Amino acid sequence: MPHFALSELVLMVCALYGVSRIFRLPYSLPALIGLLLLAITAGVASARYGLSLQRELASIHGLYSSLSASVGMILILVSFISLKTPALLSGNRQWLTIVMVTIIFGAAAVLQFVGPLVTIATLLAITATIAAGGALFNEGQRSLGAYAIISGLLFLWVGSMIGSRGDDLLGFLPRWHAFHLAVACWCLAVALSFRNLSGKAHKAAA
């Protein structure tokens, strides 16, 4: 089981990097706490599996997993909502289309594949990230925008798959690592897209 710690370590590093990228940015405190909760959860998990402390750290791992999947995700959502950038308020039809498609896709995924790893809080945070990616894509930052959109959809798909399917799809180990790597990619998307949108919001307010 020590190999389980590898993907947890990758997730922890990505979440901490995300924290460093949005530190002290306007409106960043909720998202910073959310990413920090994810990093702590991954750190506890890596110690639990890497040091063979499954029983000893089971309760604290479960606690932080619940906090990061609910409170942490809501905090990340709050930061994106607080930005109020011109792109988010412009009513641009392309951006609104992306948002609506994301909401419909996410709702369908929850209704069809709902499982313990796909919560409403997580869905909303993923939707916010994809919407932010759409705003960035529409503003000309196509690479970052596409990355945010793809990472959000990947997180949603892998999370739904793990929460609803058995070992017949990919097998337990591939699904375990795929999920944690998808969350790691999403953490980077959260930080990078928020950083860019925060800069635009600051310029618009100046």
Contacts of 191 (CB under 8 A, 6+ apart): 17, 18, 19, 21, 22, 31, 35
Span of 83-87, 138-142, 198-202 with lowest mean pLDDT:
83-87
Three-state DSSP class for 165?
Answer: coil
Higher local confidence (pLDDT), 54 or 91 = 54
C-alpha–C-alpha distance, residues 88 and 135, integer Å: 7
Q: What is the pTM of this model?
A: 0.81
pLDDT band at 98, cuts 50/70/90? low
> Which percentage of the chain shows pLDDT scores above 70?
73
128 has a pLDDT exceeding 50: yes
Q: Which of 79-88, 135-144, 187-196 has the highest mean pLDDT?
A: 187-196
pLDDT band at 85, cuts 50/70/90? very low
Instruction: Tell me the H-state helices in the chain.
Output: 4-22, 29-50, 58-67, 73-83, 86-89, 93-113, 120-138, 142-164, 172-205
61 has a pLDDT exceeding 80: yes
Task: List phi, psi (to 5°) of 140.
Answer: 105, -10
89 has a pLDDT exceeding 50: no
pLDDT band at 146, cuts 50/70/90? very high
Q: What is the pLDDT of residues 2-49, one digit of tens each?
A: 778 999 999 999 999 999 999 988 888 999 999 999 999 999 999 999
Which pLDDT score is estimated for 165?
A: 52
C-alpha–C-alpha distance, residues 144 and 149, integer Å: 9
